[in-house]
Structure formats: C-alpha cells, structure tokens
Amino acid sequence: MIVLIGPMGAGKTTIAGLVAERLGMTVRDTDHDVEAAEGRPISEIFVDSGEAAFRELERTAVAAALATHEGVLAVGGGAVLDPATRDLLAGHDVVFLRVGLSESVKRVGLGTSRPLLLGNVRGRIKALLDERTPIYESVATLAVETDGRAPDEIADEIVTALAATA
Ligand SMILES: Nc1ncnc2c1ncn2[C@@H]1O[C@H](COP(=O)(O)OP(=O)(O)OP(=O)(O)O)[C@@H](O)[C@H]1O
Ligand SMILES: O=C(O)C1=C[C@@H](O)[C@@H](O)[C@H](O)C1
Ligand SMILES: [Mg+2]
C-alpha cells in the first residue's frame, strides 16, 4: 500500500487521488471511512466523543483499509500520533507530504471550524506542526515538499521516487 501522511492541508486527499490515477490504483481515505462508519462528521465525533475516541476509530479504519485494499491510502493528519497505528503502517510505502505553516494555514482556511484548531488557527497549526513533524519523519519512507508546488508535480515526484525504490 502507498500511504500518504502529513499535516492538515498537506494535500493528502488531493495527492492520493492523483497518485492512484497515475498508477491505475484505487484510493481510500481514512477520514472518509471513519465518517461513513460512524454516520457523522469528524467535527461531531471530536466534540461528542473526544479525540481519543476518534483516534481509536481511525486506527480501526487504517487496519481495515490495509487489510482489504491494495492501492493508495490517505490517512488522517493525526493518525500517526497513535503508536498502534504507527505499527500498522510499518512495511508499507509511507509518504510524508511536507507543508509549511503559512501554506497550511492558507490551505486549511482561517475560518475553519475544526475542533483542534479552534481559537487561534495559526498558533494551533504551528503547535501541531512542531509536535508532529518528528513523528511524520520517523514513520515516513519518503518525504516530499509541497509548498509552492502544483499537485500534479508532487504526484509525479512520488510515482518516480517509488518506482526507483521498487
Ligand atoms: N500542492 C498544493 N498547492 C496548492 N493547494 C493545494 C495543494 N495540495 C492541496 N491543495 C489544496 O489545499 C486544500 C487541502 O487539500 P487536501 O484536502 O488534499 O489536504 P489534506 O492533507 O487531505 O487535509 P485534511 O487534513 O483535511 O485531510 C484543498 O483546497 C486543496 O485543493
Ligand atoms: O490533524 C488532525 O488531527 C486531523 C486531521 C484530519 O485529517 C482529520 O483526521 C481530523 O480533522 C484531525
Ligand atoms: Mg484529507
């Protein structure tokens, strides 16, 4: 499985589709899978059940996707915080999509209603980037810069880099 990880707004969903298209593969996205399984939006799961409950649902979604799907998987931005989820990803091609603070804020939008970003969106994203970047680095088998680059160019780089290591 080709797994895409990275912060909010890194382009996981966008790039997963483009990589899958290039390789003739199908795509899954754990954010979508969790929402479909729960029948409610992620923001509601966070508010009603809490982040820990969401991370458990996310782990189940990652495990199910890895067990049943062969293709490209976009994983929720915080999934790698969970050690058991990190273990599940071992042995797969894991691509870290890098994004800088300003670009992430721009892509997510200052008016976002994501529970983890409530209050000061830029400050919250900065804290998440600082906390998570070392984790993304440790899990990834390939890291790709996305700032100032078009999605098609990023997808091409990933496909070329994976072909070189296959
Ligand atoms: N390389 C890029 N350059 C400019 N805009 C981009 C790029 N990649 C994605 N975007 C835009 O940024 C926004 C977020 O992209 P996307 O939803 O793919 O990110 P994500 O990593 O899946 O985020 P999430 O945390 O919501 O799952 C979208 O509006 C998308 O069109
Ligand atoms: O970075 C995060 O913690 C999140 C990212 C999104 O993909 C969603 O999984 C959710 O909004 C949480
Ligand atoms: Mg996404």
97 in contact with ligand 2, CB cutoff 6 A: no
**3-state SS of the chain?**
CEEEECCCCCCHHHHHHHHHHHHCCEEEEHHHHHHHHHCCCHHHHHHHHCHHHHHHHHHHHHHHHHHHCCEEEECCCCHHHCHHHHHHHCCCEEEEEECCHHHHHHHHCCCCCCHHHCCCHHHHHHHHHHHHHHHHHHHCCEEEECCCCCHHHHHHHHHHHHHHHC
Of ligand 1's atoms, which has the minimum distance to the CA of residue 77?
A: 25
Atom 4, ligand 2: residue with shortest CA distance: 77
Between residues 120 and 76, the one the model is more confident about: 76
What residue segments make up the domains of the chain, in order of their start?
2-160
Q: How far is the CA of 70 from the centre of ligand 2 (A)?
A: 23
Pocket-forming residues, ligand 1, beta carbon under 6 Å: 6, 8-14, 31, 74, 77, 107, 146, 149, 151, 154
pLDDT tens digits, one per residue of 24-79: 999 999 999 999 999 999 999 999 999 999 999 999 999 999 999 889 999 999 99
pTM: 0.96
Atom 13, ligand 1: residue with shortest CA distance: 107
Q: What pLDDT does 165 receive?
A: 86
**Spatial distance between the Cα atoms of 4 and 10, rounded to a whole number of angstroms:** 10
Fold of 2-160: Rossmann fold (3.40.50)
